[in-house]
Chain A
């Protein structure tokens, strides 16, 4: 009586190949968000040794700030890409100065619990005022519409998300791995006392790093605002997956988190194509497998 359907496509080989390309591209789009968020987490963990559970809430704040800028201040999407990360980044730096800095040297568990608590409070406050359904945020006029790639209709905005986040990810990697400032940062992580002895203000650098990681989360929030609803729980839904991405990629590895972010987006996309029911769990299955074989993650160094 009841018809059941599998997600597996029917039809000719060529048609299925086209559908497969489309799913790969869609996976890449979701991967962009995973990459941006896991990058921020990796930066924070690498430099501050804090597992930032507030990351999802800060991502959500980025989207909300974009919404407020547009609806209260008339400031458009393009400026929001700049201002929202700065505003949320400053909020993050205040958090670091007032709370997180006291946890230096303590067990990871303390940082995790503190940031988790912060996330619950921030989400609760937003939910109290804005409900759970979310608020609409329109795609900017310049990026409306789409183009036909032959195998799929690609909304221009989604293409923009992939390109933009790739550029931001690579720029962050360059900043930390290839510049003088990045070298100071990495040195400060290895031996803060020694770096201080060279006359570098380590606590300020740590605060700025946290601000950078938080800014990346807020940036991802602005990027996702036109695609998803601007919802108080948008980050809570995503953050668990992103943590799995970070674990798979290796905690604290910058390039590892970028590559894993994009790769897992693609794998998830393929799952949605072949066996959609499992699309919410595939990342965690992979995480379990990776942890069993290589507990430090794919690119992680031994602790």
Chain B
């Protein structure tokens, strides 16, 4: 009796393995989970637009014609790491999701990073800023697209120090992202002979910055570095103008600024700000064509932000890798290895590559916000002032502390 049940158990197990083994060779089903802040302060820069970007990537990949079946689901992490990880776990365990994309908010992003690694899924992060995703906390399952805090510090930050901004005061969002951006920028400032003379940490999603701005003002620092994002940044910039910061000789360094932020601030207040992005809708014919298609499907006809563009490019590259593998192995490490072995190329970011630590390398662009008189359309905001090649913008592998590099 007992031996019989063990035998049947073994048989079932063997059969299961055999079945899954056969299935993985030809399995052409994929499930993509777009995890984002769907309604909070980062919803406009990622959110529903990121889900749309993933959908467009699937449509443009042409894999449906080759017999692939690709589903997309989306989730709202509400900027809470516990909610983010709960959704990620449910997606892997119950919904059989293969890949999670977007995930703005560095706190949530790092938490989800661990879940994806544990479940051996694929993780293409576009929305989060922290450079830790491909540095101290890098994972063989993770690809970080679009931008990170190291890049922001070494483009906008460095340019400002070199232009004479040698004393800094930080307004920092009090969570993983703000801390990482402040850390990376501080390193750049001190390496270039500047000094950080103070700073204040504010809670995420603060409506009123006047107290903090007054502290920054009285610090007499030449540069007030904004290590925050989204609604926090727009509120800071607007209120800084109100308190006459700028007229007093101090300069605001918006280290991270998105297209939707400029829309919210208005050109009148935002004009002249210098910042860095890796994608802008009005760069060339390809970006314009994509952005037009994208905006037509968006509720408020907004063109894509760099985060949404990163989701598109990331999903395209992921699907290319799956196509090259000939089927979905449902094995995150294997797919990410394939992605790293192929050079990246798409209409939005041009040519690039994924480094062994998971960092995608592509050009970064220094922009200046146009004057209201220079703007010709509802989303015509940026003037290109400089281009930084990818290998100079992102962490050099020699400086990376990623454990994957030691192999």
B215 contact from A231, A238, A273, Cβ within 8 A: A273
The complex places the Cα of A288 from the Cα of B93 at a distance, in Å, of 40
Contact between A131 and B243 (Cβ–Cβ < 8 Å)?
no
CA A3 to CA B49, docked complex, whole Å: 36
Query: Quick check: A138 and B215 within 8 Å, CB to CB?
Result: no
Instruction: State which of A7, A15, A129, A132 has its C-beta within 8 Å of the C-beta of B47.
Output: A132
Closest CB in chain B relative to A212 CB, distance in Å: 25
A287 in contact (CB, < 8 A):
no
CA distance A184 to B318 in the complex (A): 71
Does A165 make an interface contact (CB < 8 A)? no
Number of interface residues of B (CB under 8 A): 53
Residue B44 CB within 8 A of the other chain: yes
Minimum distance in angstroms from A241 CB to a CB of chain B: 10
Which A residues between 22 and 47 are near B, CB-CB below 8 angstroms?
22-23, 26-27, 29-30
Cα distance A109–B98 in the bound complex, in angstroms: 44
| Complexed CA–CA distance, A131 and B42 (Å) | 10
In the complex, the answer to whether B199 meets A155 with C-beta atoms within 8 Å is: no
Contacts A146-B242, A279-B202 given; indicate if A153 touches B217 (C-beta within 8 A): yes
Whether the Cβ atoms of B44 and A131 lie closer than 8 Å is yes
- Nearest-neighbor residue (CB-CB) of B259 within chain A: A133
Q: Are A133 and B211 in contact (CB under 8 A)?
A: no
Q: Is B201 an interface residue (CB 8 A)?
A: yes
User: Of B206, B211, B239, which one neighbours A23 at CB under 8 angstroms?
Assistant: B211
* Given A2-B179, A133-B260, A238-B207, residue A157 in contact with residue B41 (CB < 8 A): no
Hey, which chain A residues are within 8 Å of B34, CB to CB?
A: none
Q: Are the CB atoms of A10 and B198 closer together than 8 Å?
A: yes
- 0/1 string, A1-13, CB within 8 A of B gives 1: 1110101011000
B263 partner residues in chain A, CB cutoff 8 A? 133
Check if B174 sits within 8 Å of A19, measured CB to CB. Answer: no
Residues of B within 8 A of A279 (CB): 202-203, 206, 211
Contact flags (1/0) for B23-61 with A, using CB distance below 8 Å? 000000000000000011111110100000000000000
CA distance A4 to B246 in the complex (A): 25
Nearest chain A residue, comparing its CB with the CB of B172 = A5
Task: Knowing A133-B263, A136-B269, A155-B242 are in contact, say whether A29-B210 is a contact too (CB < 8 A).
Answer: yes
Q: Is the CB of B198 within 8 A of A5?
A: yes
A189 at interface by CB-CB < 8 Å: no
Which residues of B lie under 8 Å from residue A1 when comparing CB positions? 183
Is B125 located at the chain interface by the 8 A CB criterion? no
Q: Does A134 contact B (CB under 8 A)?
A: yes
* A131 & B302 in contact (Cβ 8 Å cutoff): yes
Q: Which residue of B lies closest to A134 (CB)?
A: B264
B230 touching A276 by the CB < 8 A rule? no
B45 CB to nearest A CB, Å: 8
Q: Please measure, in the bound complex, the distance between the C-alpha atom of A228 and the C-alpha atom of B234, giving whole angstroms.
A: 9
Residues from chain A with a CB closer than 8 A to the CB of B72 are none
CB neighbours of B268 from chain A (8 A): 136, 138
**In contact, B264 and A229 (Cβ under 8 angstroms):** yes
Map CB proximity to A onto B165-209 as digits: 1 under 8 Å, 0 otherwise: 000001000100001001100100000000010111111011110
Which of chain B's residues have a CB closer than 8 A to the CB of A130? 300
**Chain A residues in 8 Å Cβ range of B217:** 153
A3 to B244, CA, bound (A): 28
Chain A nearest Cβ from B237, distance in angstroms: 11
Q: How far is the CB of A28 from chain B (nearest CB, A)?
A: 11
B261 touches A133 (CB 8 A): yes
Whether A19 pairs with B215 at a CB distance below 8 angstroms is: yes
| Contact residues in B for A276 (Cβ distance below 8 Å) | 200-203, 211-212
Tell whether, in the assembled complex, residue A19 and residue B300 are in contact, meaning their CB atoms are under 8 Å apart.
no
Q: Is the CB of B196 within 8 A of A3?
A: yes
B214 at the interface (CB under 8 A from A): yes
Check A227 against B265 for contact (C-beta < 8 Å): no
Q: A19-B214, A153-B244, A272-B211 are in contact. Are A133 and B201 (CB under 8 A)?
A: no
Chain A: minimal CB distance from B157 (Å) = 14
- Give A272 to B208 CA distance when docked, in angstroms: 10
Given contacts A132-B231, A227-B242, contact A30 B208 (CB under 8 A): yes
Q: Which residue of B lies closest to A153 (CB)?
A: B244
Specify which of B42, B234, B248 lies most central, judged by the most chain A CB atoms within 10 Å of its CB: B234
Known: A2-B179, A131-B300, A233-B40. A136 touches B266 (CB 8 A): yes
In the assembly, what is the distance between CA of A61 and CA of B374, in Å?
A: 32
One digit per residue, 1 when the CB lies within 8 angstroms of any chain B CB and 0 when it does not, for chain A 212-233 equals 0000000000000001110101
Q: Is A256 an interface residue (CB 8 A)?
A: no
CB pair B210–A158 under 8 Å, yes or no, is yes
Partner of B242 from A7, A19, A139 at Cβ < 8 Å: A139
A127 within 8 A of B: yes
Give B145 Cβ to nearest chain A Cβ, in Å. 22
Counting from the closest, the 10 A-B pairs by CB-CB distance are A136-B266, A272-B211, A133-B264, A5-B199, A132-B43, A133-B44, A280-B203, A155-B242, A131-B44, A26-B210
Q: A7-B200, A276-B212 are in contact. List 12 more A-B contacts (CB 8 A).
A: A2-B179, A26-B214, A132-B39, A133-B45, A133-B261, A139-B242, A155-B244, A229-B238, A233-B39, A237-B205, A238-B207, A272-B212
On A, residues with C-beta under 8 Å from B are 1-3, 5, 7, 9-10, 15, 18-19, 22-23, 26-27, 29-30, 127-136, 138-139, 146, 152-153, 155, 157-158, 227-229, 231, 233-234, 237-238, 269, 272-273, 276-277, 279-280
